[in-house]
Amino acid sequence: MSPWSLAGRRRRGPRRERYPDAVHVLKRLTTAGVACGVVSNIGWDIRVPLAVAGLLPYLGTVVCSYKEGVRKPDPTLFAIACERLRGDPARTLMVGDSPRADSGGEPLGIRTVLVSPQPPDRRPAGLLSVLTAAQLC
């Protein structure tokens, strides 16, 4: 199946919190054969925090702007993620929380679905509800 870039975390103060249903959603998607990845504008390597949060085992790639030299919404980051996941942009979904940054893949044919800007603890099914509405889970 195609790759899905899952933004399973939302900025909250000086630290990052994952959505409570992020591991469940990623596990369901990867079990179904869907390649998942992260595209981030973060300025440091987020693989360790993703591993600590239990998310890294479900991610086929983590594309960070600081390593690639461009920032979202530049379509280059989304193209890199699709290439690494061997996915067709026309069959790819970006789930994010920033209308401007996370829609950067749209010129490539990547569909964007936004999660609520509310903190993750206020949206315990924040990701599952979005993916269900998009008929993906």
Q: Which helix or strand (DSSP H or E) is residue 10 part of?
A: strand 9-12
Alpha-carbon gap, residue 120 to 109, rounded angstroms: 28
Beta carbons within 10 angstroms of residue 28's beta carbon: 16
* Domains of the chain: total: 1
Could you give the percent of the chain with pLDDT greater than 70? 77
CATH of the domain at 25: 3.40.50.1000
Alpha-carbon gap, residue 42 to 134, rounded angstroms: 27
Task: Answer whether residue 39 shows pLDDT above 90.
Answer: yes
Give the pLDDT of residue 103. 95
Confidence of residue 127 (pLDDT cuts 50, 70, 90): confident
Average pLDDT of every residue of the chain = 83
Give the pLDDT of residue 3. 40
Mean pLDDT of 8-26: 64
Task: Answer whether residue 14 shows pLDDT above 50.
Answer: no
Identify the domain containing residue 8 by its residue range: 3-133
Mean pLDDT of 95-119: 89
Beta carbons within 10 angstroms of residue 2's beta carbon: 17
Give the pLDDT of residue 16. 57
* pTM for this prediction: 0.80
Phi, psi of 58 (to 5 degrees): -100, 0
Which residues on neighbouring strands pair with residue 9, listed in sequence order?
A: 18
